[in-house]
Structure 1
Amino acid sequence: MAGWPMIALTDTAGEAVTVPTENVAQPGESVPAELAPGSGAFAGIKWTTCDKAATDCPAGNTVKVGLAKGGPLVAATLEGFPDPEQSGITFKSLQIGTIQPSRQGVVAW
């Protein structure tokens, strides 16, 4: 696998919320890797928040992740985010970093 993961903010109905998203070469170009069962890969995301009351503020209650466009997405385990019932996760914009075989540098940008 290589490239960028798929990241989606979803609403209470499980539908994707439209968020301006950009794939970026951070922390560098993607490093192709073959994943063995039970192993993992890493990618960072960077986002800006907005006021949920604003009409142009995308808000949802779950962040879902996946490895391939059009493939299955699973709910990410989030720490320090609003309770899902509040639909308080806001992404005014989102940058998605490249898939890497280790954590090194993934969250440094």
Structure 2
Amino acid sequence: MAFFAISRSRPLTLLSAADLATENERLERECEQLRRAVASHAVVDQALGAVVALGQIAPEEAWRALRDVSQRTNTKLRTVAEHVLAFAQGAELPEAERLELRRAIARYRR
């Protein structure tokens, strides 16, 4: 069975076994990156819901609050989101994040 690569510049280029293996590895890496992105997005979405409930603010403001906390504490957004979810379940929020989240909620609640 022959396999071909299709592109705008070189339609129907015959692929060797090595080309197929390389393309397969590239696609597997891309698929793993997409899996991580979807998982990260879910964590951030859940944290947004927690901030909406805890801060009694609109979802748009909750997004801004999370983003502000991330930027002002130099912490990745996903990490802040994980901390907020843990906080919503009774864990401690790191002090810098706790202070920034309190300030952000106050800013956006107005």
Q: How would you bin the TM-score normalised by the shorter chain?
A: under 0.3
Higher relative contact order (CA 8 A, sep 6+): 1
More strand by share: 1
Give the number of the structure whose alpha-carbon radius of gyration is greater.
2
Q: TM-score, structure 1 length as denominator?
A: 0.23
More helix by share: 2
